Structure 1
């Protein structure tokens, strides 16, 4: 029996979109006085503790077999530690709204990777059109500035795009190597592994004990750890078995829109015509690559986790 689309689930999906989209503005606030790797490690550490506590309260345990921890280690690096760091570094040089819109291409990168590396994924005209529109949106965002060389702004935008590719690779990996019935352990184990990945690099490269973060940066750390990562993961993995991966992935429509909106409202960022055009192209691309009605639910087009 297919899961029913009920008002509670719809409300949770909107809350999830708000939590993930808000992360871009809070990252922008955080990196003003905290290094990107320190911000990432703090976020992951807070979220890992919360999810592990929730895991134990619900009676689950982290598996001990090598295969499960191999999955955790890969997803922890590619789906959490690396993209979180890239986004945080990128937002030192670009607006949070631009970062949110760039991250909107994640479903497109997921489709591109799935149809490039997985035999069972046929390449169709619809997928090709969606990928083309996704690349067109990137070209619009980078604009003529890209021809002038690798400026800090261009490098930052490329870092955000690389993080979208990381999320796509992680989603594709989950599709084939993770057990759908074990989502709680997967979420907790991946965050724990991500924290282990990020902590040594943070201690070596940023010496966080010497930092003097502003109060708003500390607030940003806790929001990112509790809201955008721990609570958002719990909501997302609650929705997947109820709505299916495809319906849950519709959160990707809202994240770039809301992310750009929060930047305008709270950080006084500007919405340029180029940004609005790129956002439109991205939303069309995401709509095009979404599985058609009647297509079996799959988990290779999951949310960004941001």
Structure 2
């Protein structure tokens, strides 16, 4: 991996980790639904130049139904759920739950789609579940979460379930659609769907400058810019390497929360995060585990030949 690609990967992790910081900063003033709706609207406006292309508009029309579904499951619902959770949970803790996405993708594929899981990946699911239970068990510790943290944790898990559904749905119904078209279309759909609740639940008191700055960073940097960077990285280094960003998001979110909001890093957060990321590494195959049978087969075949990256 080139240094420029590594730098872009770190930047993406910092941006997506920063989204939890900005949600935490803006949720108290705007409320969860208004913040989510304005985030989608801001990102949609950033993607508006894409509609200048006739081919892009035609692609949106041809795949309007699946793009609408993805707009609901990958933007509208997760934005609202994470924004609601941000009113009670520290930024770092919400991001740690977000790291569960690969685990739920693997678990749902195994349970409902019949996808095979070998022993290391099955072990990874169990390890990841243990990390979640660790976090939930420690959520009541001082400084760990605010009032209503139980509902906030449920909201985070609901958002992650939406992401897992989107992964399977997109693979089946959007394999030929340009990723940027799907991303832009999803933001437009999300903005339209969240518009009624944004207006209905608009805060009684005008949000402060700090909240508006957080919203701007959330919509422009952490959504629109981050999506473009994400798809650029996939084109340059491949999807598998790009997904390493999932390891970086919780680390950056905890860092930003500690630096800018003085959020404490508790033992439960540190331990739960480490256990969950270990589970993700096992489940996604990023931490290879070779069984005795595999080692025996590998020895029988002889040394493997190196391949070009």
- Short-chain TM bin: 0.7 to 0.9
Name the SS of the counterpart of 1:268 in structure 2.
coil
Give 1:145 shift. Answer: 6.4
CA distance in 2, matches of 1:118, 1:63: 28
Superposed displacement of residue 153, structure 1:
1.0
Partner of 1:81: 76
Pick from 247, 252, 257 the counterpart of residue 241 of structure 2: 247
Query: What's the TM-score once normalised by structure 2's chain length?
Result: 0.85
Please state whether the residue corresponding to 1:61 is helix, strand or coil. Answer: helix
- Match for residue 297 of structure 1? none
The structure-2 alpha-carbon separation of the partners of 1:62 and 1:113, relative to structure 1 and needing over 3 Å to count, comes to: farther
Match of 1:143 in 2: 137
Return the offset for 1:163.
0.8
Q: Counterpart of 1:100?
A: 95
The 8 Å contact of residues 115 and 122 in structure 1, kept in 2 or not, is answered as: yes
Q: Structure 1: how far apart are the matches of 2:153 and 2:61?
A: 38
| Separation in 2, partners of 1:10, 1:230 | 20
Runs of 4+ in 1 over 4 A off after TM superposition: none
Per-residue CA deviations over 1:124-149 (Å, capped at 9, x if unaligned) read: 21221111111111100111768xxx
Q: Tell me, what secondary structure is at the counterpart of 1:25?
A: helix
Describe the SS at the equivalent of 1:32: helix
1:261 to 2:255 alignment: yes
Q: 1:171 aligns with which of 155, 167, 174?
A: 167
Unmatched 5+ stretches in structure 2: 141-146, 289-309
Q: How far off is 1:203 after superposition? A: 2.0
C-alpha root-mean-square deviation of aligned residues, in Å? Answer: 2.1
* Mapped partners of 1:203, 1:186: distance in 2: 26
Per the alignment, residue 183 of structure 2 pairs with 187
CA distance in 2, matches of 1:200, 1:124: 46
Corresponding residue SS for 2:30: coil
CA distance in 2, matches of 1:60, 1:255: 30
For the residue of structure 2 that corresponds to 1:84, the secondary structure is: helix
Counterpart of 1:115 (choices 90, 107, 110) is 110
Shift of 1:52: 2.4
Given the alignment of the two structures, is residue 61 of structure 1 paired with residue 63 of structure 2, yes or no?
no
- Alignment partner, residue 219 of structure 1: 213
1:129 corresponds, among 120, 123, 128, to: 123
